[in-house]
């Protein structure tokens, strides 16, 4: 019986090739979109779950509370790891890791030649690192790893680049940049999965590192991970951490600042340490400084979940509308079958069989679409996602076929099976008012979704454009950044800067510890104004003479750093720092800083010589915070800097790069030349949002495409119901344009209703939720709303016009001819 129904259903679908093709195409596009979105979401939620006991591993993270703002950090003072393990039985293991980006490593190849590599990220870790994190190893895994200094564990990719197909165990690599430290490979691990928050090509033993031997409970220095014992409540342990802060950090602050812990906290300072589940690091919280790898955004995930559900809803609605659009053609079939004794349940089964067959074709075509689109989708999202081909995946596909088939087919089956044979056999089949309301409601639903998606896409694009074009308070264009200045050496660096200043392609140049957009290069410093009892906690930017001019910062008062003066005890403040000082004229104001000297804390007094206009030195997601600019002379004459900043003259970019690279290699050919442009680095800060915008644009377009298929179906259905009316109007002299306007009027009303219902939802989602993550943001303006509404209206008119014009041009004699 069931086999016969499926055979009949298949024949019916073959008879209506256009209808079947459109229906399958709509389903396939909708389901393929959902597959891609679901794969992406699944990948985002899978981060670090491949580790054994991942549910017991937590990262100790920090909310650093400043007098008027807070900042979140992934790194914490390293000394807390030891005292926490000693103090609390809840901790089974603790491990420390530190990161070293852009490390130069040197290898002597088989020919005896020196080969240099720039490693994007290298970690240092202690002996418990590979006990807490059970990375997959190829060779050399042992509980004794990293009990000695200068041991190194490398990934397969690292080993292949350095040693080819040879066994890397026992091979040596030297640390470049003048360090001259020889590292021995003791183990080979698999390459990191893409769904890990870790990002490194090698791990070096931190045994014997000097800075880890020094007691530190205030400076942010290391990633600290706890592996808790079975059954331990992390919140219970987290509640005990303030005791450690009071016991250890308070004493260090009092020694270094000469200020009581109570006064320090009363001034608005504080440390709130919290335990972040390992599997939450990638998505929660969205913005935290010093991450090992750019994180995802949970808000974007929630939005994509909603988009997937809505697109699938649109696909099912299209199925319903297409099926009911063909109901007039199948009315007599239903009438005859009922006269011949078919029960309504049998008819519903028949029509549901057709729906499931269509759903099956749609799902299989959707899988093909998704497989074809995956390489492009991976490029778009910067992920390595694969379509799973397995028995569980097959079972899921069968489940989707049944669910989509039943959801999309139940209403058309009920409608078609409810026709009265006495009416349809007389040719008096008409659509009920209830059915009309349902179909119109489905169209309103489709375009309600489409308008929301278009508004969301436009808002995201506007926000991205705003962040790229907004004035940051400095000129980011044409600034070349030569990196790895510290490895070049301070004297070579000074010579290099002096040489490139003389180049005709260069306007100005300077070296610097920090660069806008590089959050790790801005460190916290505490100052106390003369005669005040409160501490001023600020970010610090260390820059050489000429750096302010090279970045195009605007001096509002006083003077900049100058080569004609010794600026080691001078400071320049930004506007926000001046407001925090709460003094009328900051020029000449004195601030004290406590530093650790060989014989204990030493107070150094510094004088404010200038005020610079506020500029966004880290991210437009956050408000501008107090900033102090120090001269590199504050750290001595033989310090150097991490970056060389060179402002290039317009239209001289390539010539300047060639000249600067040539001079770099001329001064020290042993050092690799690495550069980037400041505007590119700043744009990369918003890579996640840019990806979200592109994904939104693509899936919004697909949603509109699928909606138009449904609108095409409904316009065909309504036109078929009004064929005789159109014929009468044509006989009475109605024009083609008049008939088109008449048929388009009802759809226009539905789209306007969808627009009215969509605008408040889109406004709340974007204005009150997504945009709240940005300190400098656009608004969901009237222009965006009108563009979205007009876009949908025009697309809908074009879709409906095809059927309307076709009906208006039809011969009225044929239209009036009785069936």
pLDDT, tens digit, 9 for 90 and up, residues 418-441: 666 655 555 555 555 555 676 677
Residue 440 has phi, psi (to 5 degrees) of -65, -40
**What confidence tens digit (pLDDT) does each residue in 503-559 have?**
999 999 998 988 888 877 787 787 878 876 666 778 889 999 999 999 999 999 999
Per the structure, the complete domain to which residue 376 belongs is given by 1-47+321-430
Please tell me whether residues 622 and 523 are part of one structural domain: yes
Q: Lowest mean pLDDT: which of 116-130, 139-153, 449-463, 688-702?
A: 688-702
Instruction: State the pLDDT confidence band at 184, using cuts at 50, 70 and 90.
Output: very high
**What confidence tens digit (pLDDT) does each residue in 167-179 have?**
999 999 988 766 6
In a domain, 314, yes or no: no
Please tell me whether residues 356 and 419 are part of one structural domain: yes
pLDDT at position 737 is 76
Please tell me whether residues 529 and 671 are part of one structural domain: yes
Greatest CA separation found in the chain? 109
pLDDT at position 390 is 76
pLDDT at position 315 is 81
Other residues' Cβ atoms within 10 Å of the Cβ of residue 235: 9
More confident residue, 256 or 378: 378
DSSP codes joined into one string, 652-715:
-HHHHHHHHHHHHHHH-TTSPP-EEEHHHHHHHTTHHHHHHHHHHHHHHHHHHHHHHHHHHHHH
Residues, the chain: 819
Which two tokens mark 182? 């020889």
Instruction: Measure Cα distances from 733 to 460, 694, 803, 816 in Å.
Output: 50, 50, 20, 15
Instruction: Measure Cα distances from 391 to 8, 388, 799 in Å.
Output: 30, 9, 41
Residue 736 has phi, psi (to 5 degrees) of -60, -45
Please tell me whether residues 444 and 460 are part of one structural domain: yes
Instruction: State the pLDDT confidence band at 92, using cuts at 50, 70 and 90.
Output: very high
- Provide the angle, in degrees to the nearest 10, between the axes of the packed helices 2-15 and 17-45: 110
Instruction: Measure Cα distances from 606 to 570, 613, 626, 633 in Å.
Output: 5, 20, 16, 13
Q: What is the mean pLDDT of residues 188-214?
A: 89
Q: Which one of 226, 256, 280 terminates a domain?
A: 280
Q: Which one of 255, 280, 305 terminates a domain?
A: 280
Q: Lowest mean pLDDT: which of 29-33, 339-343, 395-399?
A: 339-343
In a domain, 290, yes or no: no
Provide long-range contacts, Cβ within 8 A and 24+ apart, for 557-564: 557/586, 557/587, 557/610, 557/611, 558/587, 558/608, 558/609, 558/610, 558/611, 559/609, 559/610, 560/610, 561/629, 561/631
Q: What is the mean pLDDT of residues 457-465?
A: 83
pLDDT at position 597 is 64
Provide long-range contacts, Cβ within 8 A and 24+ apart, for 249-255: 249/77, 249/217, 249/218, 252/215, 252/216, 252/217, 252/218, 253/218, 255/600, 255/601
Query: How many angstroms separate the CA atoms of 682 and 515, rounded?
Result: 10
In a domain, 597, yes or no: yes
More confident residue, 3 or 386: 386
| Residue linked to tokens 């998606």 | 453
Residue 549 has phi, psi (to 5 degrees) of -70, -35
Which candidate, 728, 734, 26, places its Cα nearest to that of 369?
26
Residues in contact with 235: Cβ distance below 8 Å, sequence separation at least 6, in sequence order: 275
Instruction: Measure Cα distances from 289 to 61, 133, 150, 604, 732 in Å.
Output: 10, 22, 29, 29, 74
Percent of the chain topping pLDDT 70? 85
Query: How many angstroms separate the CA atoms of 550 and 556, rounded?
Result: 16
pLDDT at position 503 is 93
Please tell me whether residues 126 and 269 are part of one structural domain: yes
Please tell me whether residues 59 and 157 are part of one structural domain: yes
In a domain, 286, yes or no: no
Q: Hey, is 305 helix, strand or coil? A: helix
Query: How many angstroms separate the CA atoms of 695 and 459, rounded?
Result: 13
Write the Ramachandran bin of 605: left for phi over 0, alpha for psi from -120 to 50, otherwise beta. beta
Residue 389 has phi, psi (to 5 degrees) of -115, 100
pLDDT at position 341 is 65
pLDDT at position 112 is 72
Please tell me whether residues 37 and 75 are part of one structural domain: no
Please tell me whether residues 340 and 250 are part of one structural domain: no
Task: Please give the mean pLDDT across all residues of the chain.
Answer: 82
The count of domains in the chain is: 4
Please tell me whether residues 166 and 76 are part of one structural domain: yes
Q: What is the mean pLDDT of residues 257-284?
A: 87
Query: How many angstroms separate the CA atoms of 739 and 748, rounded?
Result: 14
91 Cα distance to chain centroid: 32
Kind and range of the H or E run holding 764: helix 736-767
Please tell me whether residues 229 and 123 are part of one structural domain: yes
pLDDT at position 349 is 75
In a domain, 619, yes or no: yes
Q: Which one of 630, 649, 684 terminates a domain?
A: 684
Please tell me whether residues 90 and 27 are part of one structural domain: no
In a domain, 73, yes or no: yes
Please tell me whether residues 396 and 266 are part of one structural domain: no
In a domain, 443, yes or no: yes
Q: Lowest mean pLDDT: which of 406-410, 536-540, 702-706?
A: 406-410
Q: Lowest mean pLDDT: which of 281-295, 300-314, 715-729?
A: 715-729
More confident residue, 336 or 690: 690
In a domain, 396, yes or no: yes
Instruction: Report DSSP state, residue 533.
Output: S
Q: What is the mean pLDDT of residues 100-126?
A: 82
Which two tokens mark 433? 């008012």
Query: How many angstroms separate the CA atoms of 272 and 278, rounded?
Result: 18
Instruction: State the pLDDT confidence band at 468, using cuts at 50, 70 and 90.
Output: confident
331 pLDDT more than 70? no
296 pLDDT more than 90? no
CB–CB of 672/484 below 8 Å? yes
């Amino acid at each position: 019986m069931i086999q016969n129904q499926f055979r009949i259903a298949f024949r019916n679908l073959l008879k209506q090739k256009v209808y079947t093709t459109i229906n399958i195409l709509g389903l396939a596009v909708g389901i393929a979109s959902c597959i891609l979105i679901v794969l992406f979401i699944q990948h985002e939620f899978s981060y670090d779950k491949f580790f054994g006991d991942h549910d017991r591993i937590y990262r100790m993270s920090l909310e650093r509370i400043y007098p008027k703002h807070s900042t979140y950090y992934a790194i914490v003072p390293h000394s807390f790891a030891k005292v926490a393990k000693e103090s609390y039985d809840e901790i089974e293991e603790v491990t420390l890791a530190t990161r070293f980006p852009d490390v130069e490593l040197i290898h002597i190849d088989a020919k005896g030649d020196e080969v240099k590599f720039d490693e994007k990220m290298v970690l240092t870790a202690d002996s418990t690192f590979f006990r807490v994190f059970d990375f997959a190893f190829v060779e050399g895994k042992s509980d004794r790893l990293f009990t000695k200094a200068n041991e190194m564990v490398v990934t397969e990719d690292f080993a292949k680049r350095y040693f080819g197909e040879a066994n890397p165990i026992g091979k040596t690599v030297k640390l470049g940049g003048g360090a001259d430290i020889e590292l021995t490979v003791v183990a080979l691990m698999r390459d990191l999965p893409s769904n890990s928050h870790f990002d490194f090509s090698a791990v070096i033993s931190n045994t014997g590192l000097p800075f880890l031997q020094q007691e530190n409970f205030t400076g942010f220095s290391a990633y600290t991970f706890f592996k808790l014992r079975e059954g331990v409540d992390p919140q219970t342990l987290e509640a005990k951490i303030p005791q450690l802060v009071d016991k250890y950090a308070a004493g260090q602050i009092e020694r270094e600042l000469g200020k009581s812990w109570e006064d320090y906290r009363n001034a608005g300072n504080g440390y709130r340490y919290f335990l972040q589940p390992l599997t939450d690091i990638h998505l929660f919280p969205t913005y935290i400084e010093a991450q090992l790898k750019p994180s995802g955004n949970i808000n974007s995930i929630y939005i994509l979940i909603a988009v997937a559900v809505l697109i699938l809803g649109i696909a099912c609605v299209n199925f319903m509308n297409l099926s009911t659009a063909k109901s007039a053609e199948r009315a007599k079939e239903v009438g005859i079958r009922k006269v011949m004794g078919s029960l309504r349940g049998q008819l519903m089964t028949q029509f549901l069989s057709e729906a499931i067959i269509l759903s099956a074709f749609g799902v299989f075509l959707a899988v093909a679409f998704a497989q074809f689109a995956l390489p492009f989708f991976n490029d778009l999202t910067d992920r390595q996602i694969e379509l799973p081909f397995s028995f569980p995946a097959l079972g899921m596909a069968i489940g989707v076929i049944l669910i989509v088939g039943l959801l999309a087919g139940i209403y058309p089956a009920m409608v078609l099976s409810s026709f009265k044979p006495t009416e349809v056999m007389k040719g008096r089949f008409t659509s009920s008012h209830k059915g009309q309301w349902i179909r119109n409601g489905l169209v309103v639903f489709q375009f309600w979704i489409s308008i929301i998606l278009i508004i969301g896409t436009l808002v995201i694009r506007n926000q991205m454009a705003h962040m790229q074009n907004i004035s940051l308070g400095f000129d980011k264009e044409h600034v070349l950044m030569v990196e790895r200045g510290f490895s070049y050496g301070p004297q070579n660096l000074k010579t290099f800067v002096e040489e490139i200043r003389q180049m005709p392609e260069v306007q100005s140049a300077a070296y610097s510890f920090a660069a806008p957009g590089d959050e790790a290069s801005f460190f916290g410093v505490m100052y106390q104004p003369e005669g005040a009892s409160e501490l001023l906690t600020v970010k610090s930017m260390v820059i050489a003479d000429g750096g302010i001019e090279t970045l195009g910062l605007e001096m509002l008062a006083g003077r900049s750093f100058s080569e004609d003066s010794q600026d080691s005890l001078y400071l320049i403040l930004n506007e926000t720092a001046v407001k925090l000082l709460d003094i009328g004229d900051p020029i000449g104001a004195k601030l004290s800083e406590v530093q650790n000297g060989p014989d204990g804390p030493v107070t150094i007094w510094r004088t404010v010589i200038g005020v610079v206009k506020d500029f966004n030195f880290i991210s437009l997601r956050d408000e501008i915070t107090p900033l102090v600019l120090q001269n590199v002379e504050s750290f001595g004459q033989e310090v150097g800097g991490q970056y060389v900043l060179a402002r290039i003259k317009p239209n001289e970019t390539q010539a300047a790069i060639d000249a600067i690279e040539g001079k770099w290699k001329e001064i020290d050919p042993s050092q690799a030349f690495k550069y980037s442009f400041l505007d590119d680095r700043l744009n990369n800060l918003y890579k996640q949002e840019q990806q979200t915008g592109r994904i939104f644009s693509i899936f919004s377009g697909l949603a509109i495409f699928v909606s138009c298929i449904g609108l095409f179906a409904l316009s065909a259905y309504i036109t078929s119901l009004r064929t005789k009316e159109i014929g009468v109007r044509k006989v009475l002299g109605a024009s083609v344009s008049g008939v088109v306007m008449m048929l388009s009027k009802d759809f226009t009303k539905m789209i306007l209703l969808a627009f009215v219902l969509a605008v408040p939802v889109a406004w709340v989602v974007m204005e009150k939720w997504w945009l709240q993550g940005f300190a400098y943001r656009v608004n969901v303006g009237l222009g965006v709303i009108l563009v979205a509404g007009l876009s949908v209206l025009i697309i809908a008119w074009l879709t409906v016009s095809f059927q309307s014009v076709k009906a208006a041009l039809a011969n009225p004699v044929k239209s009036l001819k009785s069936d």
